Structure formats: C-alpha cells, structure tokens
Homo-oligomer: A and B are copies of this chain.
C-alpha cells in the first residue's frame, strides 16, 4: 500500500486510450444479433417489458479500453453487453485506477443511474472487447417502476454486484498479489469467449492496484506452473483448475453468489439452466 503519487507511463497510456476511444462508440451491432436475448440480464425480463424497451436500445461496439462513463460524470445510460467484459473502477486523486468489480453479459452496467444517483460512482472501462447496447436511464427506470418483473432483476443484480465489490474490498486488504491475479484471470476467462485475453501486464497491474513489475513476477510463476501462457498483450488460460488452486477463496465466493442470485430468478425459463453460470458452463 502506498500513497505517493504515481504517474507511470502506464497510467498515462490509459488516459490516452480513454481520450482517443471516447465517443466513437456509435457503431452497429451485428445485424440479427438481439441484445435482449444475448444479454442474460435482459433475457430475464418479461417479454411485455422488452417489447416496450426494444426500440430504445442503442447498439454499441465495445472496443478494448473504451470508457463507457467516467466516475463523477452524470449517470445517463445503462449499458448491456452481449459479449466482452466491463471493469468498474475507482479513480483516486493521484490518478490511480483500481478495479472493484467486473460485469459481463450476465449483468448490467450503470444501474446506479436507476437508483437515484446523479453521478456515476465508478468509471466503466471495457477490458474484453465485445458488443452491446445502451438505453437511457429514464426509460428503463420508468419500466422498472411499472413492472415488478423488471424491478426484481434490477434488485438482484444490484445485490450480486454489491456482494462482488464487498468481497473485493476484503480481498484487496488480505490476499496476496499471486492469489488476486489468479482470481482476476478466472473472472475474466469466465466472461471471455476465447481462452486468450487481450491484456497487457501493465493494465493488469492497474486493475489490481500493484506495480507492473509485480505482475510480471506473479504471472511468471503461473506460467512456469503451466496455468497460463503469456505473449505480448495476449494471455492464454491453459489450466483453469490450476488457477483455481492458486486463487483465493474470493473467486468461488463471488461466483457462487452471482449464480445464486441469477438462478433464483423465477423468470428463468423452467427446466433451463441457461441462467446458471456466467458465460461458461458451471464446470
């Protein structure tokens, strides 16, 4: 833990990315791809509500490192991913960005806008590129107030995210870099469709709140053990169960709670286990 100002080339790189990629998000979804079925949160909403909401979704291309919103900005939209992963980050005064949670197609990003927050409590940044959509917060909020079938998933996902952030808070205080790195890779791998993740050690170090050199050492240990393989901005997961052994308990705890809150959903198709798990099957 340090409190000195940190302005490495990595942090500056992140800001460059942010500025350059910002507001160029107005790309088209793949034709025929429907966010209301690809995103599991939306898929759990009642058909009647989806009918009303569907015209209001704005498709988005979600390139690596795009910033969906910045901590402190007015909270105007809610985002949904069909593929990929978003990091929820806290920006500290010295410019450091620290990850407190991740969201994939199992959830929603920016629900704070529905909860009465004027400004976003996090910065949302794409860590695994994909596709998605956004909707104006007011429209979704109206539908939520109108339909218990919308309110219920909102509350459940909020709860799941809260549990994840809580576990992260404890994890940051108590677990080693090695354990937290393994946990992060598992969570990202769950939400990726590829075993190869587009990640530099530099960005990983920012997410975890440690030095880039520290990640190099920890990642090498995992590579020596055969759990991952690293190559210039691409990290491949080779052995999930190996990672699970190295990882701290927080991975299992968070995954279990997310599954419980999504699987309990009475709206899930009966007899289907599609809601169970995140992207990948339970094991």
Min Cβ gap A126→B in Å is 19
Residues of A in contact (CB 8 Å), total 52
| Neighbouring B residues of A116 by C-beta, 8 Å | 152, 155-156, 159, 261, 264
Complex contact A261–B172 (CB within 8 A): no
Within 8 A of B (CB), among A151-198: 151-152, 155-156, 158-159, 161-163, 165-170, 172-177, 179
Given A98-B170, A249-B92, are A261 and B1 also a contact pair (CB < 8 Å)? no
For this chain, the copies found in one complex come to 2
From B152, B248, B260, give the contact of A118 (CB < 8 A): B260
Nearest Cβ on chain B to A215's Cβ, whole angstroms: 14
Contacts A112-B162, A156-B115, A163-B121 known; A100 to B177 CB distance under 8 Å?
A: no
Check A173/B1 contact, CB under 8 A, given A90-B166, A115-B155, A116-B261. Answer: yes
CA distance A9 to B94 in the complex (A): 37
Sorted from nearest, which 6 A-B pairs have the closest CB atoms?
A173-B209, A169-B169, A90-B170, A172-B173, A115-B159, A115-B155
Give Cα A64–Cα B118 distance, bound, in whole angstroms. 36
Asked if B152 contacts A158 (CB within 8 A), the reply is no
A260's nearest neighbour on chain B, judged by CB, is B118
B92 touching A169, Cβ below 8 Å: no
A2 within 8 A of B: yes
A3 interface residue, CB < 8 Å from B? yes
**Taking the complex as formed, is A122 at the interface, i.e. its CB lies under 8 A from any CB of chain B?**
yes
9 additional A-B residue pairs with CB within 8 Å, beyond A100-B166, A114-B155: A3-B248, A90-B166, A92-B170, A98-B173, A116-B155, A119-B260, A145-B151, A162-B162, A165-B169
A224–B100 Cα gap in the complex (Å)? 35
